[in-house]
């Protein structure tokens, strides 16, 4: 089910159109649905970024590279159809190099092995890209923003290049230039992620039917964001993870005992 004709100029159509610039590819069609969920969470934190960069870096934080995971390569057929201006080709090559550097980081590899829930991926994206967003001097960067649908029936069969032609791309080209200029800062933010804090926060999963919504509120996301940036939280995380095996062993060895009474 494609985007209806009456919504071809919508925020949804504009966001999926940016996916023509995506350089991270996966076999699963659910990747764009997850990227939309990350985008929605980022919007609740006041961060409004083009979907392609949310998708690309988010996938690298949540999936491994290679067989069964993701590959880094341009969507050549899509790019050919949108007729990139000549100055954009070297910019996209620099963007690809940024993604290669992020993918090569040990932090990224270890995060991908943690199987993070979507809310945590969104918070990590905010840590990595938040400054880049705030430094992006485009007054229209949040114009028309609205939650994206999490419906594979809508998102799964979209022709990105077809929708790209419906919009003036000059703002997107400016963002691509800004993104590349921020490459070193973005990579540094990845390297500064404290893995112990992420691991500890990841232990607090909800297994109930409503678990996926347990950390979905704006306050919860802000709290997670603050925790990931707090040196005190990092110290607590290190101590807690060191203590956890002893606590679990104590719980296993001290069960309730019953005695027969004659």
Whole-number Å distance between alpha carbons of 253 and 239: 22
Q: Which residues of the chain form beta strands (DSSP E)?
A: 24-26, 70-72
Percent of the chain residues topping a pLDDT of 90: 63
pLDDT higher than 50, residue 49: yes
Packing angle between helix 195-202 and helix 118-134, nearest 10 degrees? 140
Q: What are the tens digits of pLDDT across the range 124-175? A: 999 999 999 999 999 899 999 999 999 999 998 899 999 999 999 999 999 9
Higher pLDDT, 209 or 251: 251
CA distances, 39 to each of 19, 31, 154, 194 (Å): 13, 12, 16, 22
Average pLDDT of the residues in 71-76: 97
Predicted structure pTM score: 0.82
What are the Cα distances from residue 148, in Å, to 76, 169, 171, 222, 224?
A: 26, 20, 20, 20, 22
State residue 217's pLDDT score.
44
- Asked whether 98 and 24 are in contact (CB, 8 A), the reply is no
DSSP category for residue 65: B
Closest CA to 89 of 74, 99, 104: 74
């Amino acid at each position: 089910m494609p985007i209806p004709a009456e919504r071809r100029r919508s925020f949804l159509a504009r966001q999926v159109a940016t996916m023509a610039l995506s350089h991270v590819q996966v076999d699963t069609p659910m990747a764009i649905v997850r990227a939309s969920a990350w985008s929605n969470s980022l919007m609740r934190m006041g961060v409004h970024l083009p979907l392609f960069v949310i998708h690309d870096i988010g996938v690298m934080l949540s999936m491994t590279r290679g067989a069964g995971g993701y590959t880094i390569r341009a969507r050549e057929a899509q790019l050919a159809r949108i007729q990139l201006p000549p100055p954009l080709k070297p910019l996209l090559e620099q963007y690809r190099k940024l993604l290669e550097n992020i993918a090569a980081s040990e932090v990224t590899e270890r995060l991908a092995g943690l199987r993070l829930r979507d809310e945590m991926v969104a918070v990590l994206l905010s840590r990595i890209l938040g400054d880049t967003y705030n430094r992006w001097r485009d007054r229209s960067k949040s114009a028309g923003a609205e939650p994206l649908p999490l419906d594979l029936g809508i998102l799964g069969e979209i022709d990105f290049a077809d929708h790209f032609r419906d919009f003036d791309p000059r703002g997107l080209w400016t963002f691509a230039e800004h993104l590349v200029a921020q490459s070193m800062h973005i990579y540094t933010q990845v390297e500064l992620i404290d893995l112990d804090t992420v691991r500890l926060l990841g232990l607090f999963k909800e297994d109930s039917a409503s678990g996926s919504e347990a950390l979905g509120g704006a306050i919860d996301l802000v709290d997670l964001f603050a925790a990931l940036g707090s040196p005190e939280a990092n110290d607590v995380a290190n101590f807690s993870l060191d203590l956890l095996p002893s606590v679990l062993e104590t719980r296993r060895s001290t069960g309730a005992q019953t005695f027969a009474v004659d």
